[in-house]
Amino acid sequence: MVKAARVRDGPIYPHRGLLLDTARNYMPLKVISRVLDGMAASKLNVLHWHVVDTQSFPLEITRVPELQQFGAYHPDLVYSRTDTQNMVRYARLRGIRIIIEIDGPSHAGNGWQWGPMSGLGNMAVCVNQQPWRSYCIEPPCGQLNPLNENMYGIMKEIYEDLVEVNAPEETIHMGGDEVFIPCWNRTEEITRRMHDTGFDLSLRSFYKLWAEFHQKNLDSWDNVTQRQYATRNQVPKSVILWSSHLTDPEIITEHLPKERYIIQTWVESDKTLNNDLLLKGYRIIVSTKDAWYLDHGFWGRTEYHNWKKVYDNRMEVHPLVLGGEVCMWSEFVDQTSVESRIWPRAGAAAERLWANPKLSSLLVQTRFLRYRERLLSRGIRSDAVIPKWCVLNEGQCL
C-alpha cells in the first residue's frame, strides 16, 4: 500500500478534442451526454459540435426560428436553447469546452431556403440541386450566397444566440471547407453581381469573394462579442476555420490574418501543410485525415483506422500547435452506433494529445485494454478490440 506519493502530470497540448457531427444524423442528448462522459474519463477537453450542415439545421436560434423550422428533420429532432445551455453546463462540470461550428459558406442549405418567401432573397444557392455532382462535393447541395447582405444579417443573429448560450470566453468554428466554386459560377444571380461590382469570373475572384464572406462574418462576431462583454476589455477572439483552398500557403496571407484565424487542418500525415502554416506563423489544430477520421472504412475507398493507427499518429510539439481532434462525421453512423464507433479509439488519441509519448501502440496494448474495460464500467458503449481471453490473460496476445 502506497502511503504517500507525488504525481506530476499535465497536458502537452491545451486543445484535446473530439468532433461530433449531429447534422447528418441527429443524436439525442442522452447519447451526447455519454460521449461527454467518455471524454471526461479520457482527458479530452473540447467537444467540437458540428451541429448544422447542408442536410439539416436542428439548432434552435431563437432570433431566427425559420432556420430550424425549415432545416430540422422533424420538430422533435431539434436542440432547443435550453438543451444547448444544459449541454454546455454538463460539459463544463466535466472540464470540457463546447465549440459550436456554424459552417459556411459551403455545407449550408436546408434551413436557409426560406429567404425568397420572406423578402430576403436567396440566402443560399444550389440547395438540393441535381445532378448533385455538378453543384457540390456530396448531396444534398447548398452554399451560402456571399452577395446577399440579408444572409450576413441572419449570421449575426445566429452569433447573438450563440454567445448567450455558450460560455462567455468561448469562440466559434466558422467551417469554411469544401467550397464548391462551380455552384457559385453556375448561379446567374451571383455571376451577374460579380460583373456589376468589377469582379471577373476567375478562380482568384471567387477566392476573394470567399475571403470576404469570412471577413464580414468575423466583423459581425467581433461586434456581437465586444458588445455582449464590453466590461471584460477583451482582445478580439480568434475563430477557427478548416483548411481549404483558401489556406493554401501560397495565398493564405492575402486572405486570412494569422492574428484572427486558427486553422484546423485535415490533411493526410504525409502532407506538408502543417509545417507550411507553422512557418508562416499560423496556429493550427490537427485532425490527421488518414488516422483520426473515425468515419473512415465505412464508405467509398476509405480505410478503417484501428486504435493502433490512431495511437501511432505522432504530433509535433510546437508553440503554435494548439492540439488536435479526432473526427466523428455522421453520414454513416447514428445514435445506435456512434458510441462504439468513437470508443475506445478516441482514447488512443487522447493519450497522444495529453502526453505525446514516445511509446508505440504495441507497448501500451495492455493499458489500452484496461482502459476499454473502465469505459464499459462507466456505461459507455465501447467497441471490442480483442478477444476477452486476451484481456483476462494480460500479455499473452502481444
pLDDT value at 231 more than 90: no
Band the pLDDT of 275: cuts 50, 70, 90.
very high
pLDDT value at 236 more than 80: no
pLDDT value at 270 more than 90: yes
Catalytic residue set = 178
User: How far is the CA of 274 from the CAs of 209, 212, 242, 268, 331, in angstroms?
Assistant: 25, 24, 12, 10, 27
Q: How far apart are CA 103 and CA 115, in angstroms?
A: 18
Burial of 6 (0-12, 13-18, 19+ CB in 10 A): exposed
Amino acid present at 61: I
- Indicate the pairing of strand 239-242 with strand 261-265: parallel
Question: What are the residues whose beta carbons fall under 8 Å from the beta carbon of 377, sequence distance 6 or more?
Answer: none
Question: What are the residues whose beta carbons fall under 8 Å from the beta carbon of 379, sequence distance 6 or more?
Answer: 34, 37
Burial of 255 (0-12, 13-18, 19+ CB in 10 A): middle
What are the cell numbers at 160? 447573438
Span 17-41, mean pLDDT? 98
What confidence score (pLDDT) does residue 235 get? 65
What confidence score (pLDDT) does residue 9 get? 87
User: 271 or 362: which carries more pLDDT confidence?
Assistant: 271
What confidence score (pLDDT) does residue 7 get? 87
pLDDT value at 230 more than 70: no
| Four-residue CA torsion sign, 84, 328, 143, 128 | negative
Least confident of 3-7, 29-33, 102-106, 340-344: 3-7
Average pLDDT, the chain: 96
> How do residues 129-178 score in pLDDT, each as one tens digit?
999 999 999 999 999 999 999 999 999 999 999 999 998 889 999 999 99
pLDDT value at 378 more than 90: yes
Q: Which domains does the chain have, with CATH numbers?
A: 15-359 (3.20.20.80)
- Percent of the chain's residues with pLDDT above 90: 90
pLDDT value at 328 more than 90: yes
Burial of 57 (0-12, 13-18, 19+ CB in 10 A): buried
What confidence score (pLDDT) does residue 197 get? 87
What confidence score (pLDDT) does residue 398 get? 83
What are the cell numbers at 54? 447542408
What confidence score (pLDDT) does residue 168 get? 84
What pTM did the predictor assign? Answer: 0.96
What are the cell numbers at 284? 493550427
What confidence score (pLDDT) does residue 226 get? 86
Q: How far apart are CA 193 and CA 35, in angstroms?
A: 45
Span 281-310, mean pLDDT? 97
pLDDT value at 253 more than 80: yes
Residue pointed to by grid coordinates 509535433:
316
What confidence score (pLDDT) does residue 272 get? 97
